[in-house]
Amino acid sequence: MSQPYTPTPRTRLVREADRAVYDREAAYRILDEGFLCHVGFVTDGQPFVIPTSYGRKDASLFIHGSAASRMLRTVKESVPVCITVTLLDGLVLARSIFNHSMNYRSVVVLGKATLVDDPAEKLEALRLLSEHIIPGRWADSRQPNERELKATSVLRVPIEEFSAKVRKGPVVDDEEDYSFPTWAGLVPLEMVAGEPIADARLDPKREVPSYAKHYKRKG
């Protein structure tokens, strides 16, 4: 069921309001198809944007990293962050340069990150993160030990203030340009997985698990 969501002045789209999606379930679908986000935070007035993976459960995003990283050091002080996820679906080749565009789906989440301190919650957040990227892998791997858990920080960002933006469908040209003598249309783009490459030190008899063999972005 779709839950209504009222954008704040900070997340209401200023431009191209027809591309705005304020539907929580639609935003979740985008967040669940991607697994790479760009996290923005501010240090001494300078914005930083760092790529990292994430997981989601209900209205929470989880990111993780070394407890020693600049991002985690900054962000765990409960400072404002922005988490953006972008899925690129294709190039839109219009007749006019001006109407060229991209088909994409993106979500921007504004919020404050908080440290996940409780050991059981932290382990569960790491499991969510792993399962978000490649479902099935967690159970097949050597589980984190205490030292590793200590070296890892996990942050939770609530999905409260957000906006999603979607551009899909065909070229839109100005009426007088439809007769312009050039090709126009879409070039679809997709992230695809290649054949898995077994580690050199792996027992050659060990089979490739299906989650690696048939890896696909969800959605």
- What residues from 122 to 181 belong to the interface with its own copies (CB under 8 A)? 126, 130, 133-134, 137-138, 140-145, 148, 152, 170-171, 177-178, 180-181
Q: Calculate the CA dihedral of residues 38, 43, 45, 51 and round it to 10 degrees.
A: -10
Nearer to its own copies, 4 or 188 (CB): 188
> According to CB under 8 A, which residues from 40 to 79 bind its own copies?
40-43, 45-51, 53, 65-66, 68-70, 73
CB 74 within 8 A of CB 68: no
Nearer to its own copies, 4 or 183 (CB): 183
Identity of the amino acid at 139:
A
Give the integer Cα–Cα distance in Å for 84 and 159.
11
4 contacts its own copies (rule: CB under 8 A): no
CB 110 within 8 A of CB 80: yes
Q: How far is the CB of 12 from its own copies (least distance, A)?
A: 10
Q: Which two structure tokens, joined as six digits, stand for 60? A: 């929470």
First to last CA, the chain: 17
Q: How far is the CB of 115 from its own copies (least distance, A)?
A: 17
Contact region with its own copies (CB under 8 A), list: 24-32, 36-44, 54-62, 114-122? 36-44
Nearer to its own copies, 24 or 167 (CB): 167
Q: Calculate the CA dihedral of residues 118, 119, 122, 124 and round it to 10 degrees.
A: -110
Among 1, 2, 6, 14, binds its own copies (CB under 8 A): 14
Among 3, 4, 195, 204, binds its own copies (CB under 8 A): 195
Task: Give the DSSP H or E segment for 162.
Answer: strand 161-167
Q: Which two structure tokens, joined as six digits, stand for 87? A: 């899925």
> According to CB under 8 A, which residues from 74 to 103 bind its own copies?
80-84, 86, 88, 90-91, 93-98, 100, 102
